[in-house]
Structure 1
Amino acid sequence: MPAPTPDGWRAVDTYLADLLVGHDDVLEQALRDQDAAGLPSIEVAPVNAKFLHLLARIAGARRVLEIGTLGGYSTIWLARALPEGGRVTTIEAEPANADVARRNLARAGVQHRVEIVVGRGADVLPTLTGPFDLVFIDADKESNTIYLDAAARLGRPGTVVVVDNVVRSGRVADPTARDTQVEGVRRGLEMLGSDPRFDATALQTLDAKGWDGIAVALLTDADAPA
């Protein structure tokens, strides 16, 4: 079996995205506007965005919490998954990013389903009231344990929790990699593995964003002690 190469997995990602995701002028313009505004290109890949969308639908989610809005690309996908009356609450630390996201959400016609809360996640999360049906964590990795604890507090048994960027090009399993983001990811994964409030697994991904992965957890008992 041939080993995967960057050219190979990007070709597969393009094939799958073209076949199963397709093209969407609104979403593609959102990415162009994000790039034009100088935001980093760290949004989820299209196949992963549709995965989030389908997870929200499978879970029957009506209330979604997103930690890390960026330009609103994943927010649009999540908002489109919700039934009438559904709501996404998304937290963004940078006001300029939130401005880009608001314009993208308005163009997508989902602004009525989304509340953008500007501020650091650690500061905003204690002010929110649950329960949320799905929580997507895609912000600073150093705070993953804070975000997971908040997800448990703001969720309910059966809430789906997704954590992005948990492989970090393989560095998560490299004992010599000690940067703060990798350390934050490890602490989050260790929490998912040991905290009785979560039942979790993780998947490696090879896509347009390179070698990374996601953790997916089911909240088992939001009231159990950590």
Structure 2
Amino acid sequence: MSLSDPGWSAVDDYIVGKLIGEDTALEAALANNRRAGLPPIDVSLAQGKMLQLLARGVGARRILEIGTLGGYSSIFLARALGEDGVLVTLELEPEYAAVACANIEHAGVGRSVDIRIGPACDTLEAMCSEGEAAFDFVFIDADKDNYPAYLDYAIQLSRQGTMLIFDNVVREGEVINPQSSDPKVSGTRALYDALQDNAKIDATAIQTVGSKKWDGFLLALVQ
């Protein structure tokens, strides 16, 4: 993704300064991610706080995250939980999971977080087969070509009223390009197709601009 505007990041900085403020644990997590060579694809600070507030707003006690990376968004989500809550977060790469574990522990939310390592579809299939308890909130920010499969698993692991959030669903406008050869675009388009006229889900999507450039989130409630 290449399109950007200095004003977008400036407004993000204004929002952070007025409404969120500095957070040493989150800053340390990003610094640790850079040292470990993780790709800089985390949500922004403002987006992370949005996820935290949405999870709090639905009273989430069980949260599922697909795509841990270095645990930056995991920290926000874990902070949304009460003392008895749990965040189950799935990560393919053991090296990323190790970085995430350190970041999560440093942020003081380790007791609430269960990191599961391996291909997400395999982990999710096992969770469904073993009768994992339903989740109240699901955040999906992983390989886009598997977004339709993640939707199916998320529905199976949800209850009526569970909120689902998918990240990166606009892709600088490429989502409306049916000729795109990018699997991230085709996977995202397949997600929209799976949701169109889906009686199990009530959904919308919003475009966003900011320090993460032009993209968007898809928000849905399980019926």
Shorter-normalised TM range: over 0.9
Task: Give structure 1 regions of 4+ aligned residues with deviation exceeding 3 angstroms.
Answer: none
> Structure 1 stretch 172-181 or stretch 41-50: which is displaced more?
172-181
Matched, 1:218 2:217: no
What are the within-5 Å matches in structure 2 for residues 48-67 of structure 1? 48-67=47-66
Distance (Å, rounded) in 1 between the aligned partners of 2:147 and 2:197: 15
Label 1:25 to 1:183 Cα distance change in 2 as closer, same or farther (>3 A).
Answer: same
Distance (Å, rounded) in 1 between the aligned partners of 2:181 and 2:20: 36
SS in 2 for 1:163: strand
SS in 2 for 1:199: strand
Q: Tell me the equivalent position of 2:93.
A: 94
- Given residue 192 of structure 1, which amino acid in structure 2 is its aligned partner? L
After TM superposition, give the deviation of residue 127 of structure 1 in Å: 1.6
Distance (Å, rounded) in 2 between the aligned partners of 1:41 and 1:18: 22
- Paired positions, count: 217
Using the size of structure 1 for normalisation, the TM-score is 0.94
After TM superposition, give the deviation of residue 15 of structure 1 in Å: 0.8
Offset from partner CA, 1:184-218 (integer Å, 9 cap, x none):
00011121223211100000000111100000000
CA contact (8 A) 1:133 1:159 kept: yes
Matched, 1:145 2:148: yes
Using the size of structure 2 for normalisation, the TM-score is 0.95
In structure 2, stretches of 5+ residues that fail to align are none
What are the within-5 Å matches in structure 2 for residues 1-226 of structure 1? 6-128=5-127, 129-220=132-223
CA contact (8 A) 2:4 2:213 kept: no
SS in 2 for 1:158: strand
Distance (Å, rounded) in 1 between the aligned partners of 2:203 and 2:182: 24
In structure 1, stretches of 5+ residues that fail to align are 221-226
Percent of aligned pairs with the same residue?
A: 48
Offset from partner CA, 1:95-124 (integer Å, 9 cap, x none):
000000000011011110000000111110
- Given residue 150 of structure 2, which amino acid in structure 1 is its aligned partner? Y
